[in-house]
Structure 1
Amino acid sequence: MATVGKVTAPPPSFDPYERGCPSRDLLDQIGSKWAVLVLGELGRNGTSRFSRLRQALAGVSEKMLTQTLRTLERDGLVSRTVYPEVPPHVEYELTALGQTLREPLKALTDWSVQHIGEVIAAREAYDDRTERTR
């Protein structure tokens, strides 16, 4: 509880369904394709260098991986350690806060793998229906 003067104010309430709620922004960040994959890769394999992450995440550009890592670092989910070597050696790993996302993201990833066949079938059925109505 926050104290304002002598009155104790309740803690702020966050509702992602409300416009302007910071939790909505966080959901956008951690729900992005590359963030989910970066967090998943670091969760599976621990500490990783940039080049290893890029190799593991087929299709990610250097720019997008850099942006994603910076955002995750800013949000306190990933830590970046620079070793003073030539050339510089940089490693990324999940923070304690980032570790708390491992289980929910694994569940989401597992669900997507388990149900992709049904989703593909639904997409094809939808496309067939909408093609006939055009």
Structure 2
Amino acid sequence: MPESQQRDLAKLVATLLGNAAPLRWFSAVLMLAPLLLLWGGKLQGWSELLSALLMVLFGLGGQYFGLRVALDAKLFAALAGEHSCERLDHSMQQLGWLKEEQAGRSMLQRAQGAQALLKRLFLCFAGQAAALMLLLVWRFFL
């Protein structure tokens, strides 16, 4: 892939990942809400506790993937600028963040990896939303 296309792809991925930042914050709110309910003694029964636990666990996953997505957004923005994949790989290897066999990936492979992180972030948020729905159903309809 020509270098100009690599930079265009990196810019596109950086923009896409950067737009996922609100999802991480919504996930944090959905993670803290059941903790506040638990602290206030508002959760009743094992079903509500289970829903709250699921919301917190999916929230922790969402925070992890959200941080990874935010980091990747900055890395892809750097790749869209003056930095090269080789320089990035070298720096990440020096920090111990990248194994030697992972170095040298193409921009397309990097973009696909970033897309997989974004999907995991979305799945964690969807899991939180589903657990919230369960909590509301158990609280108000059962």
Which category of TM-score, normalised to the shorter sequence, fits these structures?
A: under 0.3
In terms of fraction of residues, the more helix-rich structure is 2
Q: Greater CA radius of gyration, 1 or 2?
A: 1
Greater relative contact order structure (CA < 8 Å, 6+ sep): 2
State the TM-score, normalizing by the size of structure 1: 0.28
- Specify which structure has the higher proportion of strand: 1
